[in-house]
Amino acid sequence: MTVPEFLQRKRKGKKLVVVTAYDALFTRIVEEAGIETVLVGDSLGVVVQGKKDTLAVTMEDMLYHTKLVVGAARKMLVIADMPFLSYQVSVEEAVRNAGRLVQAGAAAVKLEGGAAAFDRVEAMTRAGIPVMGHLGMTPQSVNRFGGYKVQGKEREKAELLIEEARGLEAAGAFALVLEAVPASLARTVTQALTIPTIGIGAGPHCDGQVLVLYDLLGLFDEFVPKFVKPYAHLKADALQALRRYHEEVEHGKFPSDAESYQ
């Protein structure tokens, strides 16, 4: 998968499947499952680091996890999130930090925001860095929104989101994530753009979907948004396995002769 092929999928009417990954083992599993695009998400701040939000994730964190994923990916398109304050301060700093992620092996970067991000997207694109936009519920703005809330329900905000989506496309973004917006609004945006839309809590009309890996595997269950569908329950399986191990060691059942050298 490449950025041009990613764009072609919309024109061919083929759905795009994206999932997050943060380490080598899960990256190999994701690729073996046939998924062609992986996002090294700043969601690692919550599901890997145990923070309450993504705001504490640093460039060093993103560079480290991007290298892990890139080192394991063979054919997948790897997109890396730009963390909080890595692009908001200035255009120059935004391009520099995006370039660091590309040097770490990412094929593209993703950033959040509308009009305030236009000049960043344009500058990165001029520098040869493919950029994915992100509108709707943007987690790095959680304090401004007052929590994780659906965006674009009011007419004026919906119209602004459509305008900003067009602006991101004009600035050079090759794709756009739409998070936690009404399905009807996501459909309007998808029809208005020539670039693909990737939904997360944005209904079925987007050109593709993305989910956090730990959510869809049922590993992270402290907070499960409405839009998450667990396709497995690995936390329950892990608990059962660890409890059996605990019990067998305590009672002298493990290791047995089968696990011992003679």
169 is catalytic: no
User: In whole angstroms, how far apart are CA 20 and each of 65, 145, 193, 252, 257?
Assistant: 11, 24, 24, 40, 41
Question: Are 87 and 117 spatial neighbours (Cβ–Cβ below 8 Å)?
Answer: yes
User: In whole angstroms, how far apart are CA 22 and each of 38, 61, 66, 254?
Assistant: 9, 10, 7, 32
Question: Are 174 and 131 spatial neighbours (Cβ–Cβ below 8 Å)?
Answer: yes
Question: Are 65 and 54 spatial neighbours (Cβ–Cβ below 8 Å)?
Answer: no
Question: Are 15 and 58 spatial neighbours (Cβ–Cβ below 8 Å)?
Answer: no
User: In whole angstroms, how far apart are CA 242 and each of 235, 237, 238, 245, 246?
Assistant: 10, 9, 6, 5, 6
Catalytic site residue from 31, 92, 179, 247: 179
Alpha carbon distance 230, 247 (integer Å): 29
37-40 and 77-81 strand pairing? parallel
Peptide bond preceding 139 in cis form (omega within 30 of 0): no
Hey, how many other C-beta atoms are within 10 angstroms of the C-beta on 93?
A: 14
User: Hey, what amino acid is at 15?
Assistant: K
Question: Are 202 and 226 spatial neighbours (Cβ–Cβ below 8 Å)?
Answer: no
Which residues are marked as active site? 179
